[in-house]
Amino acid sequence: KAGVTQTPRYLIKTRGQQVTLSCSPISGHRSVSWYQQTPGQGLQFLFEYFSETQRNKGNFPGRFSGRQFSNSRSEMNVSTLELGDSALYLCASGGLAEETQYFGPGTRLLVL
C-alpha cells in the first residue's frame, strides 16, 4: 500500500498570503489528522477529519482551517500568514482502530 502523501513538500510564502496544503491518506483510511511541528512547540494537533466531518480541533486560531473530501483526501488552509506559521505541517491517517497514526513526509512552510 502506498503511504501518506503530502503536497507540496516545500513552500515559501510572504506574510499576509494564504496557503493550501494537501494530504492523501493511505487507501482505506478514513481519518486524517493535521499537526504543526516547530522547534519550540514540538508537534501540536491542529484538527482531525473523519468521513468529511471535523471530529477534533486543537487550540489554533480560526486562520487555520481544513476539510476532507469524499475520497478521504484532505486539505488544510492557513489564511493571513504570519512569520510564526513557519513550520513543518504533518498529515497523518488512521486505520480502523485509529490508534496508530501513519504520518506523511510533511510540508515545510517558510513565511517571509
Partner 1 sequence: SQKIEQNSEALNIQEGKTATLTCNYTNYSPAYLQWYRQDPGRGPVFLLLIRENEKEKRKERLKVTFDTTLKQSLFHITASQPADSATYLCALEGGSNTGKLIFGQGTTLQVKP
76 binds partner 1 (CB under 8 A): no
Enter the C-alpha cell of residue 19: 496557503
Q: What angle do CA 14, 45, 49 make, to 5 degrees?
A: 95
Q: Write the DSSP string, 24-84.
A: EPPTT--EEEEEEEETTTEEEEEEEEETTEEEEE-S--TTEEEEE-TTS-EEEEE-S--GG
Q: Which of 1, 2, 53, 100 binds partner 1 (CB under 8 A)?
A: 100
Span of 13-21, 66-74, 77-85, 92-100 interacting with partner 1 by CB under 8 A: 92-100
104 counts as binding partner 1 under rule CB under 8 A: yes
Q: Using the rule CB under 8 A, is 53 a contact of partner 1?
A: no
State which of residues 26, 72, 94, 111 lies at the interface with partner 1 (CB under 8 A): 94
Does position 31 interact with partner 1 (CB under 8 A)? The reply is yes
Plot region of 42 (φ>0 → left; ψ -120 to 50 → alpha; else → beta): left
Binding site for partner 1 (CB under 8 A): 4, 31-33, 35, 42-45, 48, 50, 55-56, 58, 90, 92-94, 98-106, 108
